[in-house]
């Protein structure tokens, strides 16, 4: 990642209140990835693009020695508070998923839950996940699928703030063929399972409000459109239409959003 790309990413993910957003949406996925990777006492674990510790804190609760790494260090304070409240300790390290500051084979388990998928250079991320995992170790990921609801959500963002030319969409990490290509012959086993989780809100408008208040990319996009009131209004309207049409909840009840993801569990070659 170039310096310009880093400086563009850092403020976006630091905006809002990512911990509040995660607790309302994806927080339940952390224990699932820990269980899928069979993390236990004695394991040395690296969580990549850890955010505020969704997976990392749960791995520490399982008895592992854990490093939580992320490029956006502004979110570490909330992660440290959460860890203290849960009575666990772990190390927090600034790190780019595309160039991890760790030695070859340093970890028994390397994880990432809806985090490393947002780095633009997918192959570089895969290379690093494999490099820092010991031979015979485990790599575990949870990745949004392109066909699932996240594809529609990110499409809404893309129509109003297109990604830089050549960058790959994060949902490609949810394509089985793409994951197989990225890891190539460097893993001995590769288990790929499609699953769903549900996000809820009291109404579609409240779902829009959650993103507007807490989710950095939404806040950054709306700030970018601040000098274009008509464009900003169009984005808000399209997001509300998405939140309304995508809900699988009852018409007069709470909104429910079923997101499909790909659970990836690989054993690195010995």
Q: What is the pLDDT of residues 8-54, one digit of tens each?
A: 445 799 999 999 999 999 999 999 999 999 999 999 999 999 999 99
Neighbour-count burial of 103, counting CB atoms closer than 10 A to its CB (0-12 exposed, 13-18 middle, 19+ buried) = exposed
| pLDDT score at 2 | 35
Spatial CA neighbour of 140 closest among 268, 267, 264, 270: 264
pLDDT of residue 183: 97
CA–CA separation, 216 and 14 (whole Å): 6
Q: Rounded CA gap, 13 and 73, in Å?
A: 10
Does the CA dihedral 142-208-27-78 come out positive or negative?
Answer: positive
Question: Helix and strand tally (H, E) in the chain?
Answer: 11, 7
* Eight-class DSSP state of 99: B
Measured in degrees and rounded to the nearest 5, phi and psi for residue 152 equal -70, -40
Do 122 and 173 form a contact (C-beta atoms < 8 A)?
Answer: yes
| Mean pLDDT rounded to a whole number for the chain | 94
Confidence (pLDDT) at 258:
98
253 or 119: which leads in pLDDT: 119
Dist. CA 47–CA 68, nearest whole Å = 5
The confidence band for 186, taking pLDDT boundaries of 50, 70 and 90, is very high
Q: Which token pair is 120?
A: 């633009």
pLDDT tens-digit readout, 130-160: 999 999 999 999 999 999 999 999 999 999 9
Lowest mean pLDDT among 147-151, 234-238, 252-256: 252-256
pLDDT for 118 equals 96
pLDDT band, residue 249 (cuts 50/70/90)? confident
DSSP code for 175:
-
Pick one of 3.40.50.150, 3.40.50.620, 1.10.540.10, 2.120.10.30 as the CATH number of 3-268: 3.40.50.150
CA pair distance 54, 50, nearest whole angstrom: 7
Which pLDDT value is given to residue 11? 77
Q: Tell me the pLDDT band of 4, cut-offs 50, 70 and 90.
A: very low
How many of the other CB atoms lie within 10 Å of CB of 69? 26
Q: What is the pLDDT of residue 222?
A: 94
Residue ranges of the domains in the chain? 3-268
């Amino acid at each position: 990642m170039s310096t310009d790309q880093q400086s563009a990413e850092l403020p976006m993910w630091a905006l809002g209140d990512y911990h509040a957003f995660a607790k309302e949406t994806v927080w339940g996925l952390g224990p699932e990835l820990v269980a899928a990777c069979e993390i236990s006492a004695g394991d040395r674990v690296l969580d990549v693009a850890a955010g505020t510790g969704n997976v990392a804190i749960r791995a520490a609760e399982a008895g592992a020695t854990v490093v939580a790494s992320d490029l956006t260090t502004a979110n570490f304070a909330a992660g440290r508070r959460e860890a203290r409240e849960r009575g666990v300790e772990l190390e927090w390290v600034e790190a780019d998923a595309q160039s991890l500051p760790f030695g070859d084979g340093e970890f028994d388990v390397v994880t990432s839950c809806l985090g490393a998928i947002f780095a633009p250079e997918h192959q570089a991320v895969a290379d690093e996940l494999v490099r820092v995992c010991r031979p015979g170790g485990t790599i575990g990921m949870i990745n949004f699928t392109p066909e699932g609801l996240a594809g529609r959500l990110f499409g809404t963002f893309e129509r109003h703030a297109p990604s830089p030319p050549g960058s790959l969409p994060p949902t490609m990490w949810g394509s089985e063929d793409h994951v197989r290509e990225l890891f190539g012959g460097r893993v001995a086993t590769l288990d790929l399972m499609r699953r769903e989780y549900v996000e809820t809100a009291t109404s579609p408008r409240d779902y829009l409000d959650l993103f507007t208040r807490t989710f950095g990319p939404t806040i950054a996009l709306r700030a970018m459109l601040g000098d274009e009131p008509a464009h900003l209004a169009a984005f808000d309207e399209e997001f509300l239409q998405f939140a309304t049409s995508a809900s699988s909840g009852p018409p007069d009840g709470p909104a429910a959003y079923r997101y499909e993801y790909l659970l990836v569990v690989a054993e690195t070659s010995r």
